[in-house]
């Protein structure tokens, strides 16, 4: 099974594709999609949509995992912009008939580290360990995307065993 994790954002969207084969996860591809704040919003959203569509074409995931929207009441504009980025990602998913699941960041951290309030550093170290990487990804956006994909692999395996 191929799982594509996406950590959505308007400026820097992280992605990570993994393969799950006989209870072993391996890295297929990971990186970031950057947009410029100098561009108008529709162009930034178009870039995210095109990049995700190409990523889906290239990695051929069986499922896409997206981080649930978390909005702080003091920053409603951030949630609004993040929602638009998530929307074009969901659209790319629908266009290619890829199933989509969402997890809260705390659920991912609990699955990966064992604590829902784990630090970014703890998540980075666990992701690197689980994927047998020499060092953790430099970008926390990539780490978060890979953590989403790995967490989903654990969650579906635990459901199969029940």
Residue 127 is inside which H or E element, if any? helix 120-130
Q: Tell me which residue range forms the domain holding 39.
A: 2-161
At 100 the pLDDT is: 97
At 160 the pLDDT is: 61
User: Residue 51: CB partners within 8 Å, gap ≥ 6?
Assistant: 13, 33
User: Residue 162: CB partners within 8 Å, gap ≥ 6?
Assistant: none
CA distance 13 to 82: 10
Q: What's the pLDDT tens digit per position in 95-139?
A: 999 999 999 999 999 999 999 999 999 999 999 999 999 999 999
At 162 the pLDDT is: 46
Contact of 49 with 88, CB cutoff 8 Å:
yes
Total of domains in the chain: 1
Tokens of 154: 């654990």
User: Residue 53: CB partners within 8 Å, gap ≥ 6?
Assistant: 92, 95, 96
Residues of the chain where predicted confidence (pLDDT) is lower than 70: 71-72, 160-162
Annotated catalytic residues are: 7, 67, 141
- The pTM for the full model equals 0.94
Domain CATH for 38: 3.30.420.10
């Amino acid at each position: 099974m191929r799982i594509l994790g996406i950590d959505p954002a308007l400026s820097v969207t992280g992605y990570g594709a993994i393969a799950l084969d006989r209870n072993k996860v391996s890295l297929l591809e990971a990186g970031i999609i950057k947009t410029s704040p100098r561009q108008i919003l529709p162009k930034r959203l178009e870039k995210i949509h095109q990049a995700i569509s190409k990523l889906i074409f290239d990695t051929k995931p069986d499922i896409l995992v997206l981080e649930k929207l978390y909005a702080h009441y003091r920053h409603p504009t951030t949630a609004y912009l993040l929602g638009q980025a998530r929307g074009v990602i969901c659209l790319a998913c629908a266009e290619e008939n890829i199933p989509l699941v969402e997890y809260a960041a705390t659920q991912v951290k609990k699955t990966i580290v064992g604590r829902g309030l784990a630090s970014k550093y703890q998540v980075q170290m666990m992701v690197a360990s689980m994927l047998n990487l020499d060092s953790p990804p430099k970008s926390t956006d990539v780490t978060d995307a890979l953590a989403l994909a790995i967490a989903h692999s654990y969650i579906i395996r635990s459901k199969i065993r029940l």
